[in-house]
Structure 1
Amino acid sequence: AGPDSLIISIDFGSGFSGYAFNVKPRQEGGETQIKRWSDGLGLDTPKTPTCILFDEHGEFMKFGYEAKTAFNNMRGGEAEKHYFFERFKTDVFSRDYWRRGIKAANEKKMTELQVFTEVLRFLKDDALKTIRSHPEGGEFTADDFTWVLTVPDTLDYSTKQFIIKSAVQAGLVTDATKDKLMFVLESEAALTWCLKLQPDGFITQNHSRDSQDQPAGAAEPGTSWNGTEWICNVWQTNI
């Protein structure tokens, strides 16, 4: 992506997912914005659980905290009719052939492509909705952005093609604009971000791995908190 590119970066994690974006080119002083997620109970986090809920007909219903809450509130019979998936990314990426289907919580199956595509579609739609409501936002469409997806270091060719197909079906890019889809290794993304930050406060005492659930700028007693710690902790959950 060039310096004049508008970017939406999606971190599709095994346990948690989220995204960041900029609405101004870097050369114009554009700053990275990170979506904050709430569980409705006061929790404010930079990521939301990678959970997705479909109805009995396989139609998308909810994602993240909302999906988890809705499914947990269902009674036995109702839950059996729905498809609820969580922590499925590793299963998808560890397969050489993804048409065998993955099991939902009730053992019913859906194709990996459908589940993966709907996660990307939700994150794309939510990102555009968030940007349009931003003070500097506008009537942006998916075509206005370069899309960056974080991927495991072990990504192979067949899985890469699977992700590209999902991204096209989800509407991030089209067959004609695949060059606006970029892959970044999770470990390299974390390292690049850390190298941009000041070293002060990089090493802290009593740092908790649960600090992912703290809002930006918050710190536990006896610790210092900065973006380096946050990004390293977030990436560690998915590497």
Structure 2
Amino acid sequence: MSYTLECIIAIDFGTACSGYAFSLTPREAEIDPFLKRWGKEFGLDTPKTPTCILFNEDKEFIKFGYEAKAVYIRMHREEAKKHYFFENFKMALYGKKLSRDVVITAANRKSMKALKVFTEALRYLKDDALRTINVNTEGRKFTASDFTWVLTVPAIWDPSAKQFMREAATQAGIITEGTQHQLIMALEPEAASVWCKKLPADGFITQNHDGGPLDQSPGTQLMVVDCGGGTIDITVHEVLYGGARKELHKSSGNDLGGQAVDRKFKEFLREIFSHGVWDEYEENFPILFFCNRLVL
């Protein structure tokens, strides 16, 4: 590259919500990321958007995030049954033997190849990030190959799930032949730990600490517990001199995030209704089911 900027786009692809941040910073300077805000067209202002994606009956991408939810909710029953609406689909990669042909189930019980769903979600986030950057910069149009990309993954994912995400990123145009090295997979709790070292200790360390930032407090040990929609991931680090980190315990976790609570509640509803009633309700009234779940 002929310019001296350190160009980074980091995508936090979550089970419940997703977002991104980017930095165009001189290489010798400290990174100062810009975080995209979502939902202003709906009267909201959030650092992430729901990880929801909508396809038409021909399996062509329509919308992602808040917009996907809004369009799907407004659909009539018969129209909704023709479309493909996916949410909380990230955990479909956990505990399965993955291949390009593995399928996942939409809200109306129709299925689609998981690779296409993940690819189009990443493509949307990539395109939105580049569009946001190019609108706010002058004199240059950036492309995906100008950036180092960081993609977060749960600590509990096995190598096949990480490779699946790399394949989806490739098909989404984030990386291409010859730029594979520009995609970094970051474990979610480790990314959180790196962020915490820049925060003042006041508020989450109450004893035996001088109140300064963690990267200036060698010897401090910290545990980061990332409670997400799909997983609960944990990492334990110790701050070394110079702000570096030492891993005290390997990142680990389980699949008991917030989505597990939703799943148990649905199982409870199946128990109190007669056999098959809840499944029929989900299949025949996907919009009502979705709206009621938002209320619950």
Q: Is TM more than 0.5 here?
A: yes
Identity %: 54
Residue 221 of structure 1 corresponds to which residue in structure 2? none
CA contact (8 A) 2:6 2:24 kept: no
How much does 1:29 deviate?
A: 5.3
Match of 1:152 among 147, 154, 178: 154
CA distance in 1, matches of 2:95, 2:120: 19
Judge conservation of contact 2:155–2:188 (CA < 8 Å) in 1: yes
Matched with 1:72 is 73
Per the alignment, residue 42 of structure 1 pairs with 43
Deviation of the 1:135 alpha carbon? 4.5
SS at match of 1:154: coil
Instruction: Write the deviation string for residues 156-203 of structure 1: whole angstroms up to 9, x where unpaired.
Output: 221122111111100000132110000110000001100111112347
1:30-109 aligned within 5 A:
30-38=31-39, 40-98=41-99, 99-109=101-111
The answer to which structure, 1 or 2, has the higher relative contact order (CA under 8 A, 6+ apart) is 1
Rg (Cα) greater in structure = 2
SS of match in other structure, 1:164? helix
1:17 touches 1:49 (CA, 8 Å); kept in 2? Answer: yes
- Of Structure 1 and Structure 2, the greater strand share is in 2
| Cα distance in 1, alignment partners of residues 121 and 65 from structure 2 | 10
Unaligned runs of 5+ in 2: 207-223, 233-296
Unaligned runs of 5+ in 1: 205-232
CA distance in 2, matches of 1:130, 1:102: 31
Calculate the aligned-residue CA RMSD, in Å: 2.3
Deviates more, 1:142-151 or 1:32-41: 32-41
* Aligned residue identity for 2:21: A
Q: Secondary structure at the match of 1:40?
A: helix
> Are the equivalent residues in 1 in contact too, given 2:189–2:225 (CA < 8 A)?
no
* In structure 2, distance between residues paired with 1:56 and 1:203: 52
> Deviation at 1:155?
2.2
Residues 137 and 37 (structure 1 numbering): CA distance in 2 closer, same or farther, change over 3 Å? farther
Counterpart in the other structure of 2:13: 12
Q: Following TM superposition, where does structure 1 have runs of at least 4 consecutive aligned residues deviating by more than 6 angstroms? A: none
The Cα offsets for residues 104-139 of structure 1, whole Å up to 9 and x where unpaired, read as 111111001000000100000000001111256830
Flag the 1:92–1:131 CA change in 2: closer, same or farther, 3 A.
Answer: same
